[in-house]
Amino acid sequence: MPSPLSPEAIAQLLQPYVGEAAIPDQVYPQLAVYLELILKWNARINLTAIRNPEQIVRRHFGESLFAGLHLQATESDNSLLDLGSGAGFPGIPIQLLRPEFPVTLAESRTRKAAFLHEVSRTLGLKTTVWSDRAEAMPSTSRFHTVALRAVDEMNSAVAEAARRATNRIAILTTRLAVFATLPSNFKLAEPVPLPDSQGGILLIAVRASER
C-alpha cells in the first residue's frame, strides 16, 4: 500500500512544527515510507489510535520533530533513549532528523518491537531496538538524553528516565505534574508549547551538575 501522502504534502503539514529549520532533503521521503508502514501495521496491531494520515503526520511526526529540533547538543555524546517507544515516537523522527545520534528505542511489547525493527530495516537506520522493559537494561546503560511520550505509568517512567539520563530528560506531555518524581538534581526548564496543540507541551529537565 503506497503512502497516502506525498513527501511534499508531508512537508507542508509539518511546516508549523519545523518552521525555518534546515531539514535534510531525505527526511520527508523517509517519513512517507514510515507513514505507509504505520498504516499497514496498524491494520493488524494497535500502533496508534489515530487513523487519519494527516493527523498521524501532525501529532506524531510533527511533535517528535519539534522535540528533536529543541535537543541541540554540543557534547561528544549525543545518545538518546526513547523510553516506551511504542510506534517509534519521538525516537524515529529524531533519528531521521539527526542521523548522527545513536538512538535506542525501548519497547517491551513484542509486536510493537517487531514493528520498530521493520521500520529501522526498511529505512536503513542505525537505530537500536531494546525489546524489553527499560528497567531490564544493564545498569551501565546510560544516555545523554532520555525522551518520553505517551508512556504507561508516567511517574515510574520518569523516575527510570532519571536513572538513565546523564544530561537531560525530554518529555512530550499535557501536564507538569509528572515531574514531581524527578530527583532534586534535575532542573526543569520553561515549558515549550507544542504547535497546533490544546495544552500540549515539551518539557526538558537538565541534570544540574552537568549544566
Distances (CA, A) of 61 to 48, 102, 117, 135, 142: 12, 19, 18, 27, 26
pTM here?
A: 0.92
Torsion sign over Cα 172, 174, 178, 180: positive
Whether residue 155 has pLDDT greater than 90 = no
Q: What is the pLDDT of residues 106-127, one digit of tens each?
A: 999 999 999 999 999 999 999 9
- β-pairing, 80-83 vs 103-106, is parallel
Lookup result for grid cell 515516537: 89
Please check the confidence at residue 174 and state whether its pLDDT lies above 50: yes
What pLDDT, on a 0 to 100 scale, did the predictor assign at position 97?
A: 94
Determine the average pLDDT of the residues in 8-24.
96
pLDDT interval class at 211 (50, 70, 90): very low
Distance CA 61, CA 14 (A): 8
In order of their start, the domains of the chain are 7-210 (3.40.50.150)
CA distance 167 to 44: 38
Provide φ and ψ at 196, rounded to 5°: 55, 40
Q: What residues pair up with 136 in beta bridges, in sequence order?
A: none
